[in-house]
Amino acid sequence: MNALAATNRNFRLASRLLGLDSKLEKSLLIPFREIKVECTIPKDDGTLATYVGFRIQHDNARGPMKGGIRYHPEVEPDEVNALAQLMTWKTAVAAIPYGGAKGGIGCNPRDLSKSELERLTRVFTQKIHDLIGIHTDVPAPDMGTNAQTMAWILDEYSKFHGHSPAVVTGKPIVSGSLGREAATGRGVVYATEALLAEYGKSIKGMTFVIQGFGNVGSWASRLIHEKGGKVIAVSDITGALKNPNGIDIPELLKHKEATGSLKSFNGGDSMDPNELLVHECDVLIPCALGGVLNRENAADVKAKFIIEAANHPTDPEADEILSKKGVIILPDIYANAGGVTVSYFEWVQNIQGFMWDEEKVNQELKKYMTKAFHNIKNMCQSHDCNLRMGAFTLGVNRVARATILRGWEA
């Protein structure tokens, strides 16, 4: 099932549990605005190339819309739509005053030089600058984009609207926020602590398997290692490795920085990446692509807890198989909300012109993640449902209430 179908399915289940009016339900599903633009740029060799850019603005009942911009060959409206909708529920779950949006350009950033990427980013910004804004829609980095991309958007936007650092988040530290780079991984760890505490456990002494060793996976691994957790297997696109006694994460990080790969690391044995998800462990954290847990492998998963650090890593069919096995799944719309939460802190700091130190950022993040977990648990008790539906009912209910209060039928 693709991301849009799965997101719509979860939304409809939550809507039934909440007893929402069918007209309101339909209104909440339809995006506020869909933007499609043509971006033509001169390449370094003098030829012209055209790329299609999208921005889907899903909902603004609770505040300005918020969401990443991805540069990827497979960016297409359905996926962007699902991710925009997911952001609406995610920001509501985290109790931050945003709605959801998502955007992207259909391109392969690896095939473009830095100057071509800059030109593409600036043309895209020129096409959408009057539809984004500090109190309208605040983009952020995503797959294939980074702090540099955000700096270009900020610069181009500021040519039209004056210096506006709060128009994008995930910027370089000069005008960004301390703690932003580690935020999603750190949020995953705070979410894991909140979940394990419910079962009288802590990270210390537990075994972890982490799929994906990019930004989120490497930060989650590092922080789990620091807290005494045992990371026994990790993987990324370069390979997978395991060590039953626990991998020395600081050493692995040094090795990856030096070689760009997990291969030939002498602190673990290489393994088949496909076996990673079904490896024996206490906690499995998928931090890579969507749909990795599906009906083919779900029955073989041995983890007791799954923390969804990636977007939509568990297919609905796998969800049912895992639930029957008694596996506890912490859903993506809560588990990976640390990134958007610290993006919110960055926006607040930019608007106030007053920067926080890293300790304050991390303290506030822990407070938000812990409170959100308890709110999800309350919804689970009220509606007698699992954590995924607890999170969806929490998010959808908050957006529905804001929509009704604002008067959506007028």
Binding residues for substrate are 66, 90, 343
The phi, psi pair for 211, rounded to 5°, reads -95, 120
Burial 24-48 (b: 16+ CB within 10 A, else e): bbebbbebbeebebebebeeeeeee
Alpha helices in 227-357 (DSSP H): 249-259, 273-276, 316-324, 332-335, 338-352
CA dist 97 and 398 (Å) reads: 11
* Residue for token pair 């568990």: 314
Annotation: binding site for NAD(+): 184, 215
**Sign of the torsion formed by the C-alpha atoms of 320, 322, 327 and 332:** negative
Helix (H), strand (E), coil (C) string for 27-66: HHHCCCEEEEEEEEEECCCCCEEEEEEEEEEEECCCCCEE
Please indicate whether residue 242 is annotated as part of the active site. Answer: no
CA dist 177 and 193 (Å) reads: 24
Torsion of CA 365, 371, 377, 380, to 10 degrees: -90
CA dist 139 and 65 (Å) reads: 8
- Pick from 314, 305, 311: nearest CA to 192: 305
Q: How many helices (H) and strands (E) does the chain have?
A: 14, 12
Facing residues of 235 across strands? Answer: 211, 240
- Pick from 308, 258, 29, 226: nearest CA to 319: 308
Written as one letter, the residue type at 52 is V
Residues 6+ apart with CB under 8 A from 33: 56, 57, 131
How is residue 111 written in tokens? Answer: 């095939």
Helix pair 3-18, 387-406: axis angle to 10 deg: 70
SS3 assignment, position 382:
helix
Facing residues of 211 across strands? Answer: 235, 286
Active-site position among 23, 36, 43, 102: 102
Catalytic residues: 102
